[in-house]
Chains A and B, each alone.
Chain A
Amino acid sequence: MIKKVKGFFRGLLSIFRKKKHIKLGLYGPPNAGKTTLANKISMDWLGESVGIVSKIPHETREIQVKERIEIKGKGGKKISFNLVDTPGIATRIDYEDFLKYKLNKTEAKKRAKEATKGVIEAIKWLDNMDCVVVVLDATLNPYSQVNLTIIGNLAAREIPVLVIGNKIDLKKAKVKNIENAFPQYKVVGLSAEKGINIEEFYDALFEVIK
């Protein structure tokens, strides 16, 4: 009898687990192209965009969630997830850095203040993620401390990770450097803006989300 009850509850739990949508997080330093990639994914499968893209760092300062995106893969495979675009993580924020983008002092200070809150939020949300796509700018040195901290944290939390080397449309992009830096992870080079290599990205998602 007890066995039956246990079995019943386990069955119930598994239903809940199936119902629960996987949370797929986009993480990375500011300006890497997280929102550009989020928009690309959401446009491809929902026809809606997620957030504003900007060359000014810390454009995304609040978590953005796009619910129930379903992507289809080879042989009729499907995965569905809630896509979570996060504020870029940084260890320093100086409002003066925003002044060169033609923001006035008040705007720059406001942006800096909001950005600090965004970083805190992004880190808090790490705990909720079922799978994370780490978006890096492939034209930059991958060994930055923020990258190491993010990936180290995901490893410690045993969250599956896919690493993206974004902006491969640019000459300076070196996906190889990212592969060398994080040999234990699958790395896909792509251009979220130009839509280069996106199919390979979706294939890799199927490998990482199980």
Chain B
Amino acid sequence: MLTLQFVAHAEIKKLSSGEKINRILNLVKEDKIVLVEGRLKPMEETELIQRTMEGINKNFKGIELCTVYPEIKRESVMDKFTRSVASALTGVRSGLTVIGPATVIKEIKRDPNKIQLLTTNGLNRKRSYRLIGKKRRR
């Protein structure tokens, strides 16, 4: 099962870079794809990569990171995916950062239908969004 978790700007804006990265990495290590509203700062991106490298082990093979800039049109699976998910979930126009566990993303790349299933089935329904939201608050 794929789990998406949306992290709103309001949730992390008061956190330090380190705390923000902790929050994101902990979620990713639970095999969740994390959608962070807005973008990370360049130094936060490199810090995220460093911390990811420190955490690599048998079960955690690293991350796929993707920043979606609304003004850039790209055609990779990940981007199509995030574009649809992002607009469905947030309507945010100022960008979105998607961070997922490398193993999960690899699986999606191998079989993009999995995403299709997720985006058409899950996200058009308000309910699934609320589900994700609830989980977050726990």
Contact = CB atoms under 8 A, between A and B. Distances in A.
B31 interface: no
B17 interface: no
A89 interface: yes
Interface string B86-119: 0000000000000000110000000000000000
Interface of A: 89-94, 112, 116-117, 119-120, 123-124, 126, 141, 143, 145, 148-149, 152-153, 155-156
B137 to A, nearest CB: 29
B62 A94 contact: yes
Given A120-B54, A141-B76, 4 more contacts: A91-B63, A93-B56, A116-B53, A149-B42
Contacts of B50: 119-120, 123-124
Most chain B beta-carbon contacts within 10 A, residue among A112, A119, A126? A119
Contact of B43 (A91, A117, A153): A153
Contacts of B52: 91-92
A24 to B, nearest CB: 20
Given A126-B46, A152-B42, A153-B42, A94 B54 contact: no
Contact of B102 (A89, A92, A149): A92
Nearest to B79: A143
Contacts of A92: 52, 61-64, 102
Contacts of B67: 145, 148
User: Which of A120, A124, A141, A155 is packed against the most chain B CB atoms within 10 Å?
Assistant: A120
Interface string B13-57: 000000000000000000000000000011101100110111010
B65 A145 contact: yes
